Amino acid sequence: RRGRRWINNLLLALSSWWFGREVLLLATAGMVWWLGSAPRGLLALVPLPAVVSLCLSLLAIDLFEYLLHRLSHRVPLLWRLHRVHHSDTRVDVTTTLRQHPLGALADVPLRLGAWWLLGVAPLAVLLYQFIALAVHLFSHANWQLPAAIERRLRGWLVTPDFHVVHHSRERIETDSNYGSVLPWWDHLFATAQVRDAAACRSLVLGLDEFRDDRQLWLHRLLVQPLQKVSRSGQLLRGGPPAGRAPTPLPGQHQPDPE
């Protein structure tokens, strides 16, 4: 089962890269060229040293990624695409790559608009992509860091124990810990849920409505955004029963109405 899961996660990643990531990369390159042609945007209102501009740009991009992640849990269409990532019942480095191809396309105009408005440094846009990928692979790794290192590191970086809470089946935990690279935004906006190592190891991961082993196959992952979920937590349109869904809290993502 684990081997099948890895293979299908990687196949989904390949389909995302072929279908969506190229569009994102081309759009990113175009935006970087445009931003580099002349200073513009909020960060260009006050002349700053290059190093300061780069650091502020990285912080601004990470804050936007936090907000975009929260949005993907609140907007029904974005959640349908993003839940493919959350439906994994185990979390490891392949979960990082488990993204629906249409998800990248949906995020492109939002990211480009934010970069344009902020006027982030072109180098920061490219540098952030590499930093974020490294942190995402690390935060999804099935590692248990020594307690002392975990405590110190999670104040500065999204760690495996901090992020695994976000993959819990419980919605109060799923709708928390949105940080991409830095955990600061979660603490600032009161969306942080910190658990000790024992609690993290006992979490049940994934989504109730997609626990059936048949949901591991690539074709099921690709059509997952099209599947509706009843208020009882069952898949409609031929999906297998998924058991009881936790009662959502006010303002958190809701199952689709029957």
Residue 257 lies in a domain: no
Residue 252 confidence (pLDDT): 45
Hey, is 248 helix, strand or coil? Answer: coil
Residue 249 confidence (pLDDT): 40
- Return all residues near 178 (Cβ < 8 A) that are at least 6 apart: 66, 69, 70, 73, 166, 185, 186, 191
Residue 256 lies in a domain: no
Distance CA 42, CA 23 (A): 26
> Hey, CA dihedral for 6, 7, 10, 15, is it positive or negative?
negative
Residue 254 lies in a domain: no
Domain count of the fold of the chain: 1
| pLDDT tens for the 258 residues of the chain, in order | 555 565 665 655 666 655 555 566 666 666 666 655 555 678 877 788 889 989 999 999 999 999 999 999 999 999 999 998 898 888 888 888 888 888 877 787 888 888 888 888 778 888 998 999 899 999 998 888 888 898 899 899 999 999 999 999 999 999 999 999 999 999 999 999 999 888 988 899 988 887 766 666 666 667 677 777 644 455 544 333 333 344 344 344 444 443
pTM of the full predicted structure? 0.78
Q: Give residue 41's domain range.
A: 2-226
DSSP code of residue 189: T
Residue 251 lies in a domain: no
For the CA atoms of 165, 171, 172, 176, the dihedral, rounded to the nearest 10 degrees, stands at 50
Distance CA 187, CA 203 (A): 21
Distance CA 230, CA 4 (A): 28
Pair 162, 139: CB distance under 8 Å: yes
Structure tokens at 18: 């072929």
Residue 137 lies in a domain: yes
Residue 239 lies in a domain: no
Residue 63 lies in a domain: yes
Residue 248 lies in a domain: no
Pair 120, 43: CB distance under 8 Å: yes
Residue 94 confidence (pLDDT): 84
Backbone angles phi, psi at 128, to 5 degrees: -65, -35
For the CA atoms of 84, 88, 94, 98, the dihedral, rounded to the nearest 10 degrees, stands at 0
Residue 242 confidence (pLDDT): 36
Distance CA 236, CA 228 (A): 5
